[in-house]
Structure 1
Amino acid sequence: MKTVQLIQKMLSIPCMATELRLDITLQCGQSFRWKEVQPGFWRGVIGHRVWTLTQDDTNVLYQVHEPQLSTTKKSTKMEQDEQHQKNGMVMNDRTASLKMDDVRHLRTVKQEGPLSNEEYTAILNDYFQMHIPLEERYHDWSKVDHNFSIVSPQFPGVRMLKQDPVENVFSFICSSNNNIVRISQLVEKLCRLYGTPLIELDNFTWYAFPSVTALCGEGVEQTLREQGFGYRAKFIHQSAKIIEANGGEEWLYSLRDLPYPQCHEQLTTLTGVGAKVADCICLMSMGHLEAIPVDTHVFQIAARDYLPELQSAKTVTDRVYQKIAEHFRSLFGELAGWAHSVLFSADLKKFEALKGEERKSSKSPVKQCKATGKKKDHKEPVKRQKITKTTKTSAHTKGPCPSQQKKKQKVEERNKDGDKNCRKKTLK
C-alpha cells in the first residue's frame, strides 16, 4: 500500500516528537512484534487488534485493523458503527470517561466490531504511558547526570511501554542468551503456533499472543523444541503451568498491586525467570518504573560512565547487580528504570546513526550529483580555461601545457648546440 493511501486512512493524536519517538521506542528491545512495513510506518499488535503507526513533528497517526475473527453476518448496528468509524465519526455508546480497568478490558478482551475514537486514543495513551510528561523528565535527569545531558539530545521521546504481562513474561523467557532479531523470530513462531489469527495484511497474517492456557497444553514443550526454542521450550511450558496453577492471567495482573520487591520475588518463582528477566517484566508491564534490568550491556555502561571501580569485575554477580541498580535509583529516583532505558538505547549499535544527526545538521549543505548519485560539497564551481586549437592549455593554468613546454625546451637546447658548432667552425 502506498504511503499516501496509508496516511489518508489514519486518525491522529497530538504528540510532539520530543514526547514520543516511535523509531527508537519500538526498536530498543522492549517489545518484539513491531515491524517497519514502510519507512517510518510501524505495524504491531496491541491487545487483539493490529495497529499501524507513524508520526510527524506534532502528531502520532494511527490506523486500527479490526480482527477478522467471525465469518457470521454482522448486525445492521455493527455495520453502521463500522461505517461511522471509517468516516472518523464517534458513534459508539461506550464513550463515557474511561478508567484504567476499562482500558485494560479494551486491550485484553476480544470484542466484535470497532471501538470509538476515544477508546482507541485511550488504548494508545495507556500503551505509551502518555500521562507522564517526558520532556520534563529529561530535563530533570539532565540536571542530576552530566552524561545523560550529553546523550539525551539525540535520543528524545524514548518511552517505556506498558505491555500485557502475559506477552511480556513469555517474550523475555525467549530472550535468554539471545539478541533482538532472534527473540523476535521466536516470539513470532510462538504466536503462529498457539495464537489466534487476527487479520491478513499485505500477504502477512497477524496473530494474537497465545493465552496461558494454550501454552500449558499437552505437547507444547516437545513442539517448541522441534521449532528451535531449545531449553526455553521447557521454561515456557513450565512457567505457563505455574501461572495457571496460581490463578491464570489474573494472578499476573494482580502482581501490579504489589510493591516492587514483592512483585519481583513472585516473578522469580517462574521457571526461567531470574533477577534480570524479573526486572524487565517489573519495568515493562508491572508499572514498577524504578526497576533496573542489569545485563552485560548495562554493566558495561555502568563501569565505563558511572562506576569505574567495576572495570575489574569479570562477571555480573549479585553484589555487582545490586550496586548498579541502586546507583541508578539513587541518581534518577522513582523513574530510574525509564532513565536507564534511554541510556541503554543510546548505546545500541543499531542507533549509531542517530548520534551523528546533530553534527551533520551543523555542517554546510551537501548536494547530490544526479549522474552518479554521489554526494559532493556545496561549493562554487571551479572555472576552467577553454582549450583552443592553436594553443593547448592545461585545465588548471593559463600557460602552455607541460608537454608543449618540454618540446620548446628541447628545440632551444638544439639551437644552442647549433650555435656552439658554428662558432667552433668559424674559429678554425
Structure 2
Amino acid sequence: MNWNKLLCNRNELQLLGTLNGGQSFRWTYNKDKDEWTGVFSKTVWKLKHTEDCLHYQIIGSLKKPPESNIKAKTSKDMYKLKYEYFEAMLKKYFRLELPLTKYYDEWSEKDEIFKAACKQFYGIRMLAQEPVENLFSFICSQNNHISRISSMVEKLCTFYGEEICEYDGVKYYSFPDVNKLSGSQVEAKLRELGFGYRAKFIQKSAAQIIEWGGEEWFDTLQNMKYKEARQELMKLCGIGPKVADCICLMSLNHLEALPVDTHVYQIAAHNYLPHLRGKKNVTDKMYTEIGDHFRQLYGDMAGWAHTVLFCADLKKFQTDTSDTENSKPKKKRKK
C-alpha cells in the first residue's frame, strides 16, 4: 500500500507527544517501523513522520466522501477525491490550520519554564476529537492508568461499535454511537467486562445525552462560552470538573479549558503558585485558582499551552529522549 504525503514540518507536529500523551487511547506505536496505527472518525490510519512530511495510509474506513463531491470521471479522479476527503479529516484532527510554532513563540515569551520545556517537546498538538468518544473515554479514565483505559475503550468499541476492517490479524472497530451505550442492559454488560462503577456513569450519561438531543447536543456546547459548556457537562452522571474540562478542551474547541489533576497541581505548586505546596487534596477553590492562573498567563489557548508542560513533566517521556520521534530535528549548518 502506498503512503500519501501531507506537508508538515516536525516542529509543527510531534507524533509521540501528541498521540501518546494521554489525549487519545486508540493509538499504538511500532518502534521497529517507526509507525503509528490508530482509529478515529470510523477510520483506521497508519502514520509516520519524516523531516517535512506527515505520511499516512487509510487501512480501512466506514466513511465515504459525500456523493455531492464526487464529480470524477476516471479512477484517477476518484482516487484524488477520496484522499482529499481523508486528508481534510487528518488536518482537522491535528488542527493543522493553526500555526503552532507561532503560538510556541508567544507562550515562550510569557513563560521561561515553557520556553525551556518546548525545546524538547516541540510540536505537541491538541487533538480535535469527536465529543462522544472523548467523553466516554474520559469517564473510563477516572482513577485509572493508561493501559487499562485503552483496554476499556477497546471493549466499548468491540462490543458496541461497528467493525471497520481486519488488518494484520487484528479487527478494528469504530467507537460506538451514543445511542448504543444508552440501553438498559449496557450497565450490567460493562460491569461484567470489568468497568466497575464507571459502567453506571457510561449508561446513565448516554441516556441523558439522548434525552437532551443526542449528538447534536454537543453542537450547542461548542457554541456556548467555556464555563457555561463546562457546567452543562457536569450535569451528566459521573462527570466532575476535571473530566468536563478534558471534554471542553479536547473536543469542544474551548482551548482555554485546563483539566487539573494531582499531576497538574504539582506542576503549578512547584513552579508557579508556591503557597499551594503541601496540600493533601485539590479543593474547588484551588482548582479554579490554578486554571485561572494559567489562563491569565497564556491566554485563550491556556489548556493547549499547559498540555506541553504536562507532557514535559511526565516521566515516561523523560526516559524516551533517544527515540526518533522525540529527537529535535537539527538545523543544517551554513557552509
Q: TM over 0.5: same fold?
A: yes
1:59 has 2:21 as partner: no
- 1:112-261 correspondence to structure 2 within 5 Å: 116-261=82-227
Pair 1:38–1:56, CA change in 2 (3 A): same
Amino acid at match of 1:26: L
Per the alignment, in what secondary structure is the counterpart of residue 206 of structure 1? strand
**In 2, Cα distance between equivalents of 1:294 and 1:229:** 23
Pair 1:90–1:302, CA change in 2 (3 A): farther
Per the alignment, in what secondary structure is the counterpart of residue 119 of structure 2? helix
1:50 is matched with which residue: 44, 59, 70?
44
Q: Deviations over 1:273-325 (max 9, x none)?
A: 10000000000000000000000000000011111111032210001001100
Deviation for aligned residue 1:62: 0.3
**In 2, Cα distance between equivalents of 1:140 and 1:314:** 34
1:285 corresponds in structure 2 to 251
Deviation for aligned residue 1:13: 0.3
**In 2, Cα distance between equivalents of 1:151 and 1:68:** 39
**In 2, Cα distance between equivalents of 1:66 and 1:205:** 11
**In 1, Cα distance between equivalents of 2:308 and 2:57:** 27
Give the number of aligned pairs: 318
Per the alignment, in what secondary structure is the counterpart of residue 327 of structure 1? helix
1:406 corresponds in structure 2 to none
1:10 corresponds in structure 2 to 3
1:263 is matched with which residue: 229, 232, 235?
229
1:275 corresponds in structure 2 to 241
- 1:316-395 correspondence to structure 2 within 5 Å: 316-354=282-320
Per the alignment, in what secondary structure is the counterpart of residue 66 of structure 1? strand
**In 2, Cα distance between equivalents of 1:142 and 1:164:** 30
Asked whether the 8 Å contact 1:24–1:345 carries over to 2, the reply is: yes
Per the alignment, in what secondary structure is the counterpart of residue 118 of structure 2? helix
**Alpha-carbon RMSD:** 2.2
Pair 1:356–1:37, CA change in 2 (3 A): closer
**In 1, Cα distance between equivalents of 2:62 and 2:117:** 44
Q: Deviations over 1:345-387 (max 9, x none)?
A: 1111110135578xx99xxxxxxxxxxxxxxxxxxxxxxxxxx
**In 2, Cα distance between equivalents of 1:235 and 1:37:** 34
1:407 corresponds in structure 2 to none
Name the TM-score, length of structure 2 as normaliser. 0.90
Asked whether the 8 Å contact 1:165–1:253 carries over to 2, the reply is: no
Q: Structure 2: any 5+ residue segments left out of the alignment?
A: 64-69, 329-335
**In 2, Cα distance between equivalents of 1:64 and 1:246:** 34
**In 2, Cα distance between equivalents of 1:32 and 1:23:** 13
Name the TM-score, length of structure 1 as normaliser. 0.71
1:91 corresponds in structure 2 to 78
Asked whether the 8 Å contact 1:138–1:152 carries over to 2, the reply is: yes
Per the alignment, in what secondary structure is the counterpart of residue 35 of structure 1? strand
**In 2, Cα distance between equivalents of 1:253 and 1:65:** 29
Report which of the two structures shows the higher radius of gyration computed on alpha carbons: 1
Deviation for aligned residue 1:343: 0.3
1:41 has 2:28 as partner: no
**In 2, Cα distance between equivalents of 1:48 and 1:354:** 30
Does 1 or 2 have the higher relative contact order (CA < 8 Å, sep 6+)? 2
Per the alignment, in what secondary structure is the counterpart of residue 29 of structure 2? strand
2:261 is matched with which residue: 295, 303, 324?
295
1:399 corresponds in structure 2 to none
Percent identical pairs in the alignment equals 48
Asked whether the 8 Å contact 1:155–1:354 carries over to 2, the reply is: no
**In 2, Cα distance between equivalents of 1:62 and 1:68:** 17
Asked whether the 8 Å contact 1:43–1:52 carries over to 2, the reply is: yes
Asked whether the 8 Å contact 2:43–2:62 carries over to 1, the reply is: no
Asked whether the 8 Å contact 1:154–1:354 carries over to 2, the reply is: no
Q: Deviations over 1:49-79 (max 9, x none)?
A: 111111111000000123379xxxxxxxx9x
Deviation for aligned residue 1:181: 1.2
1:402 corresponds in structure 2 to none
Q: Structure 1: any 5+ residue segments left out of the alignment?
A: 1-7, 70-77, 96-114, 362-428
Amino acid at match of 2:96: M
